[in-house]
Amino acid sequence: MPTLLIIGASRGIGLETVRAALGAGYKVRALSRSANAITIDDPFFEKIAGDALNRQTIKRALAGADAVIQVLGVRLGRETVLKGTTLFSQATRVLVDEMQYTGLKRLVVVTGLGAGDSQGTGSLVHTYLAFPLVLQRIYDDKSVQEEIIASSNLDWTIVRPGILTNGPATGRYHALIDAESWRGGFISRRDVADFLVRQIADRSCIGKAVVLVR
């Protein structure tokens, strides 16, 4: 039974990915600062409370893992909106370095619509209002994060969800690979989790950045 490491697993997409991975028959190792607060009780579930920026913590979490899903997030507040963050790029640099050192290849990472070359492909409100006023500085670091991933020798897939909802898992969503097809839209966190887990066995999106919307 493969072991899947999920980084950023205590809430949101990360927590839904834990549930989806266990349901798909994986052993799941969850890394998060608040991992001990996760209430899932399953014999194939392991919790590691730790910091994704800490190299020794990442070394320990990677030991024996077969694949990694990274789902980092920051809370929107005055400081992150005005000053931005370096969490995404710094944590990804540590992770990529350690994966390359250990030889672990499969990495699936959630960034967001507006990162990298997908900037400007959302709705008019997202592109001209929400993005420049609220998200720009945060997504600047997500773009650096994507550059680190794309320049690695890992079997990577970058996933850029649209606007997230708390809706049910429907299985009815679009994974848009070609830049000409990228567009804004909504998608539930559970559908994102479903797609992330499917990528562990599905190699069709390796080396690609995928926009995910309903």
Mind listing the pLDDT tens digit for each residue in 86-131?
999 999 999 999 999 999 999 999 999 989 888 777 655 556 456 6
For 47, list phi and psi in degrees, rounded to 5: -110, 135
Give the model confidence (pLDDT) of 148-207 as tens digits: 999 999 999 999 999 999 999 999 999 999 989 999 899 999 999 999 999 999 999 999
What's the pLDDT at 136? 81
State mean pLDDT over 129-144: 78
- pLDDT, tens only, 175-187: 999 989 999 899 9
Q: Residue range 47-55: average pLDDT?
A: 97
Q: What angle do CA 151, 147, 66 make, to 5 degrees?
A: 60
- Tens of pLDDT, residue by residue over 58-79, are 999 999 999 999 999 887 777 7
Residue 178: CB atoms within 10 A of its CB come to 8
The pLDDT-based confidence of 147 (bands split at 50, 70, 90) is: very high
Contact residues for 208 (Cβ-Cβ < 8 A; gap 6+): 157, 158, 177
Q: What is the pLDDT of residues 18-46, one digit of tens each?
A: 999 999 999 999 999 999 999 999 999 99
| Domain that residue 32 falls in | 3-213
pLDDT value of position 78? 72
Q: CATH no. for residue 199?
A: 3.40.50.720
Residue 194 phi, psi (nearest 5): -60, -45
Predicted confidence at residue 30, as pLDDT, reads 98
Q: How many domains does the chain have?
A: 1
